[in-house]
Structure 1
Amino acid sequence: MGQLSGNGPSSFFSNANASVGMFFTKLFRFLGKDLAMDLGTANTLLYTAQDGIVLAEPSVVAIDTRTDELVAVGAEAKEYLGRTPERIRAIRPMKDGVIADFDVTRAMIAFFVRKVLTGFRYAKPKMVICVPTGITQVEKRAVVESAQMAGAREVKLVEEPMAAAIGAGLPIDRPSGNMVVDIGGGTTEVAVISLSAIAYAESVRVAGDELNETVQRYVQDEFQLLIGENMAEEIKIRIGSAMPLPEPRSMDVSGKSLIDGTPTTVTITDEQIREAIREPVNIIVSAAMKALEKTPPELVADIAKNGLLLAGGGALLAGLDQRISQETNLTVVLDDDPLTTVVRGTGRSMVDRERFKDVFIN
């Protein structure tokens, strides 16, 4: 009889078992692909270590009220806002950065996860999700449970400004102050970060959605014209600004006349929209000022050298970086891609958990 190579049968079976174990470990990791999520009031983004950002969709769900079935989710559902028949309801399940409708949020997360992990129906991913700094324990638990019920086998939480700092590549682990202003859809997060921890945070529930709502109210009051959420957002993006623009802008806006209900079009200027959003912009700037006032002098000195990072979709408002710089006397750095700063940082914390273990809050 021939002999087994190596140190005999026990060595052979030991090596075989190790190989089988390694195979199943890799298979389990593959089927349970880790996901990082920016679960935002306005948009939800998903990130994987292998592919980077794999999903960016509006946090909107359309539901058939007769059957409670999902009709549309994400970009398609956003088009339903203000256009649905009575039996279909288009809603935003997130409000001010936290879950407003638990069941709909769970269904939305499950839909997005399945969309990303298509073909792997048994996938049970580990997830890292970013949350606002000011949320309560109950609100944190709602995020964790909604993700678990959507199929996640483990959920870690990281605060949004911390995720933004990581995404922008700031040296968060050093004994030096770094300041972040993250303007999302529902909240503006201001934080001073040092030694992988938040030394001071200020969270206000005024951000991109509030800007849209003030535009809607202004158009209604000044022009007796009703416009929808999507039109208000388009106005903000196209001609909204926090500072006077080098060249004046204007756009034609169509809506429903408050006087007789007929379709009506008016022309609106950037100056008018700047006046419309003046109050929420002031609140955002004041949050940054308050954070500086409450921060110890040594950290403020660091921030004076390092500058202030501006991130989040709301950071794209024209002239906002200049306005904050003018008010705070700081150099303001607008991230290269502010819409994805937070999810990129959440993804990095997921990929390198050992390095960023101190940033998780649960």
Structure 2
Amino acid sequence: MFSLRADMGIDLGTASVLVYVKGKGIVLQEPSVVAIDKNTDRLLAVGEEARKMLGRTPGNIVAIRPLKDGVISDYQITERMLKYFINKAIGKFLFKPRMIVCVPSGVTGVEKRAAIEASNEAGAKKTYLIEEPIAAAIGAGIDITQPDGNMVIDMGGGTTDIAVISLGGIVVSESIKTAGDKLDEAIVRYMRKEHNMMIGERTAEEMKIKIGTAYPRTQEVSMEVRGRNLVSGLPKTIKVTSEEMLDALEETIYSITDAVHAVLEKTPPELASDISDKGIIMTGGTALIYGLDKLISEKTGIPVYLADDAISCVAKGTGKSLDWMEALEDQMMT
């Protein structure tokens, strides 16, 4: 079906890509994974189909995640992935769409340019960039135009963005490359060290989602985990508890709470007072880990709230900012 033009907002995340089309809302949410045949350079699968191939491909097929730590690590693959998602989201269009793409708050000029060029090459007429904490705040329903301090912690797959926002801009921010992926790596390390067992990336992610814990649970949960015994080299199944996950994730989680503390220390007193009254908003998939809000609240002494539909906040905020594209043209990074 042909349409004249469909302006789009894209949350280009390390773990997943969400596409928001003006007038329709979020139309696509898929993992940022691409499967390619190395011999022919042919795109075999993108998104969920490619994610199923992670760790399971023969020699000539490689499943790639082209974004690392919130930024593009493989330009060509990112461009092809974006082109696929744009076509899947809106089909054929008469005029090229204008796009707003999310980037972490700590990106460099080179990384910004790579995001803009990849988006334009994938089919955008013009690409604007918006910083993730701003998009997350808008998506969480915060009126960022007011002269009040709002603190947002956006925790994705590659980066955790912590920002204090007032009058539509970021006053203080910190972007650390510690988020969902680093938690997965911590689980893999723990299983190798404590259980002499090698597990894959997908298994680690499943453990994080099902039994991952940042704060002691009132009721312990567990799950069966399959992997390879490093001593015998044979497949092995063991039961892992949420209490073990607390140990596995502790160091990585604490690096996030330290970053939150560092941002609060740099926040002007008037804005810090606002944040103390209103609380801190958490968005992003990694924010859903059990007890993370309680832990940050305990460490800072400030109430912490999980945004409704935390995973989609950045994409929703990007989509809402499409309405202000002309007004924000000067402020946005283009």
TM-score (norm 1): 0.90
SS in 1 for 2:311: coil
User: Does the aligned pair in 2 maintain the 1:162–1:359 contact within 8 Å?
Assistant: no
Q: Which residue of 1 aligns with 2:47?
A: 74
User: Does the aligned pair in 2 maintain the 1:46–1:56 contact within 8 Å?
Assistant: yes
* Gap change, CA 1:230 and 1:263, over 3 Å in 2: same
User: Which amino acid letter does the alignment assign opposite residue 135 of structure 2?
Assistant: A
Question: Does the alignment pair 1:165 with 2:165?
Answer: no
Aligned pairs for 1:262-273 within 5 A: 262-273=234-245
User: Does the aligned pair in 1 maintain the 2:153–2:280 contact within 8 Å?
Assistant: yes
Question: Does the alignment pair 1:96 with 2:57?
Answer: no
User: Does the aligned pair in 2 maintain the 1:158–1:359 contact within 8 Å?
Assistant: no
Q: Which residue of 2 aligns with 1:22?
A: none
- Aligned mates of 1:70, 1:155 — CA distance in 2: 25
- Aligned mates of 1:121, 1:85 — CA distance in 2: 37
CA shift, 1:361, in A, is 2.4
Q: Which residue of 2 aligns with 1:174?
A: 146
CA shift, 1:232, in A, is 0.3
Aligned pairs for 1:217-228 within 5 A: 217-228=189-200
CA offset digits 1:106-145 (Å, max 9, x no partner): 0000000010122x16551110001001010000000000
Number of residues of Structure 1 aligned to a counterpart in Structure 2: 333
- Aligned mates of 1:323, 1:358 — CA distance in 2: 39
- Aligned mates of 2:265, 2:330 — CA distance in 1: 26
Gap regions ≥5 residues in structure 2: none
Q: Which residue of 2 aligns with 1:128?
A: 100
SS in 2 for 1:277: helix
Question: Does the alignment pair 1:318 with 2:290?
Answer: yes
User: Does the aligned pair in 1 maintain the 2:6–2:93 contact within 8 Å?
Assistant: no
User: Does the aligned pair in 2 maintain the 1:163–1:342 contact within 8 Å?
Assistant: yes
- Aligned mates of 2:22, 2:124 — CA distance in 1: 16
Question: Does the alignment pair 1:85 with 2:53?
Answer: no
Question: Does the alignment pair 1:204 with 2:176?
Answer: yes
- Aligned mates of 1:305, 1:275 — CA distance in 2: 32
- Aligned mates of 1:315, 1:90 — CA distance in 2: 26
Q: Which residue of 1 aligns with 2:27?
A: 54
Q: Which residue of 2 aligns with 1:142?
A: 114
CA offset digits 1:297-332 (Å, max 9, x no partner): 011011111211100001000000011111111111
Q: Which residue of 2 aligns with 1:10?
A: none
Q: Which residue of 2 aligns with 1:3?
A: none
CA shift, 1:359, in A, is 5.1
SS in 2 for 1:339: helix
User: Which amino acid letter does the alignment assign opposite residue 295 of structure 2?
Assistant: R
SS in 1 for 2:10: strand
* Gap change, CA 1:354 and 1:152, over 3 Å in 2: closer
- Aligned mates of 1:358, 1:153 — CA distance in 2: 17
User: Does the aligned pair in 1 maintain the 2:5–2:93 contact within 8 Å?
Assistant: no
* Gap change, CA 1:122 and 1:357, over 3 Å in 2: closer
- Aligned mates of 1:117, 1:67 — CA distance in 2: 28
- Aligned mates of 1:151, 1:273 — CA distance in 2: 43
User: Which amino acid letter does the alignment assign opposite residue 277 of structure 1?
Assistant: L
Identity rate, percent: 49
SS in 2 for 1:326: helix
RMSD: 1.3
- Aligned mates of 2:172, 2:329 — CA distance in 1: 19
TM-score (norm 2): 0.97
Question: Does the alignment pair 1:185 with 2:163?
Answer: no
Task: Find the partner of 2:228 among 251, 256, 274.
Answer: 256
Moved beyond 3 Å, runs of 4+? 354-359
SS in 2 for 1:41: coil
User: Which amino acid letter does the alignment assign opposite residue 73 of structure 2?
Assistant: A
Gap regions ≥5 residues in structure 1: 1-27
User: Does the aligned pair in 1 maintain the 2:148–2:166 contact within 8 Å?
Assistant: yes
- Aligned mates of 1:231, 1:37 — CA distance in 2: 27
- Aligned mates of 1:235, 1:123 — CA distance in 2: 44
- Aligned mates of 1:42, 1:123 — CA distance in 2: 30
Task: Find the partner of 2:250 among 248, 263, 278.
Answer: 278
Q: Which residue of 1 aligns with 2:263?
A: 291
User: Which amino acid letter does the alignment assign opposite residue 13 of structure 2?
Assistant: G
Larger Rg: 1
Q: Which residue of 2 aligns with 1:36?
A: 9
CA shift, 1:356, in A, is 4.7
- Aligned mates of 1:117, 1:268 — CA distance in 2: 43
User: Which amino acid letter does the alignment assign opposite residue 86 of structure 2?
Assistant: V
- Aligned mates of 2:327, 2:314 — CA distance in 1: 17
CA shift, 1:93, in A, is 0.1
